[in-house]
């Protein structure tokens, strides 16, 4: 089983021609609400990957916003470990999606900040603990420490990015970040490979948007070029990548295969609106991979050069 400990938010999404700048008002178009939150998105991505049981520890308010979040998770067959906050509302996120499928997101954490060390459920039968940073850092560190003590692999998606204490880094087996988050964590302006070398975690994966992704695992680098799609909404693409990656690894896939599956799932998530509503089922990912040609040598070379690796 995979246990996800993290956030659950109700997303308020508006489409607009472009994302407004400081002080700018933009006239939007369609407005919808979607179940979201990095933790909940990643839990559903794990569950939809097929073949792996998924649980989630989450905190919700005692309000109407919690209802669609619970339903979405239960419909995906995620086993819930809920903390109900009496004094904090369910977390929310306000998202503007532009016509070129980019987004800007502001999160009001609400009940997500209620999670404490004592809320962690039993880790019996859990192979991987997957977390993010939309819940208190103290809770993340406590959960990671408990997992390490029980031989459970600890996976952290360091988003939203913040400085991570050495104590936490020493407990992480796999760190997943995007390019900007990697730069913040390392404080280094060099290439991707140089930054990856500076992170004291056994395996570090960096997503590179439309370029693909790169990983360093125990000194060995692996690159995976992105799969071409026409994006509609990139919300939850990174979360889909994380959940699918951990699901693949939990089923025994090697890192190269896991990166390919995660990249395919993340690409498909960009082709639909919303967060959890866009996360593909395992069969969709399998069909997509069967239809896609293997990355060309030139694409692999170009990505290695971009990352600062030998061609």
Average pLDDT over residues 57-83: 96
Over 80: is that where the pLDDT of 274 sits? no
**Of the listed ranges 99-113, 125-139, 144-158, 194-208, the one predicted with least confidence:** 99-113
**What pLDDT does 126 receive?**
97
Q: Which residue has the higher pLDDT, 128 or 105?
A: 128
* Catalytic status, residue 239: yes
Over 80: is that where the pLDDT of 19 sits? yes
Instruction: Name the catalytic one among 11, 173, 233, 239.
Output: 239
Q: Which residue has the higher pLDDT, 311 or 142?
A: 142
Average pLDDT over residues 143-156: 98
Tens digits of residue pLDDT in 166-208? 999 999 999 999 999 999 999 888 899 999 999 999 999 999 9
Over 80: is that where the pLDDT of 11 sits? yes
* CATH class name, domain 2-17+30-307: alpha beta
**What pLDDT does 179 receive?**
93
SS (H, E, C) the chain: CEEEECCCEEEEEEEECCCCCCCCCCCEEEEEEEEECHHHHHHHHHHHCCCCCEEEEEEEECCCCHHHHHHHHHHCCCEEEEEEECCCCCEEEEEEEECCCCEEEEEECHHHHHCCHHHCCCCCCCCEEEECCCCCHHHHHHHHHHHHHCCCEEEEECCCCCCCCHHHHCCCCEEEEEHHHHHHHHCCCCCHHHHHHCCCCCEEEEECHHHEEEEEECCEEEEEECCCCCCCCCCCHHHHHHHHHHHHHHCCCCHHHHHHHHHHHHHHHCCCCCCHHHCCCHHHHHHHHHHCCCCCHHHHHHHHHHHCCCC
Q: How many CB atoms lie within 10 A of CB 219?
A: 7
Average pLDDT over residues 205-222: 95
Judged on CB neighbours under 10 Å (0-12, 13-18, 19+), 286 is middle
Q: How far apart are CA 216 and CA 194, in angstroms?
A: 10
**What pLDDT does 30 receive?**
84
Order of all β-strands in the sheet with 220-225: 79-85, 54-61, 2-5, 128-131, 153-157, 174-178, 203-207, 212-217, 220-225
């Amino acid at each position: 089983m995979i246990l996800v400990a993290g956030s659950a938010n109700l997303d308020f999404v508006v489409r607009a021609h472009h994302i407004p700048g400081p002080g700018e008002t933009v006239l939007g178009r369609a407005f919808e609400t979607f179940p979201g939150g990095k933790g909940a998105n990643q839990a559903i991505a794990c569950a939809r990957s097929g073949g792996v049981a998924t649980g989630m520890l989450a905190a919700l308010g005692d309000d109407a916003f919690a209802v669609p979040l619970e339903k979405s998770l239960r419909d995906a067959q995620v086993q819930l470990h809920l903390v109900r906050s009496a004094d904090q509302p369910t977390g929310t996120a306000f998202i503007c999606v532009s016509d070129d499928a980019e987004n800007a997101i502001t999160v009001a954490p609400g009940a997500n900040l209620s999670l404490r060390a004592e809320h962690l459920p039993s880790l019996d039968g859990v192979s991987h603990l997957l977390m993010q940073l939309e819940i208190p850092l103290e809770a993340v560190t406590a959960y990671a420490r408990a997992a390490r003590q029980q031989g459970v692999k600890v996976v952290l998606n360091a988003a939203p990015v913040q400085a991570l204490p050495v104590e936490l880094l020493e407990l992480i087996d796999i760190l997943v970040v995007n390019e900007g988050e990697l730069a913040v964590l390392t404080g280094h302006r060099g290439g991707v490979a140089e930054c990856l070398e500076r992170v004291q975690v056994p395996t570090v994966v960096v997503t590179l948007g439309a370029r693909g992704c790169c990983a360093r695992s125990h000194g060995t680098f692996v690159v995976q070029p992105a799969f071409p799609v026409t994006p509609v909404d990139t919300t939850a693409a990174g979360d889909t990548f994380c959940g699918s990656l951990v699901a693949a690894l939990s089923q025994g896939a090697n890192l190269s295969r896991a990166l390919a599956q995660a990249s395919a799932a993340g690409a498909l998530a960009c082709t639909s609106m919303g967060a959890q509503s866009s996360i593909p089922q395992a069969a969709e990912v399998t069909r997509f991979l069967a239809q896609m040609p293997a990355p060309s040598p030139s694409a692999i070379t170009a990505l290695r050069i971009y990352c600062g690796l030998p061609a």
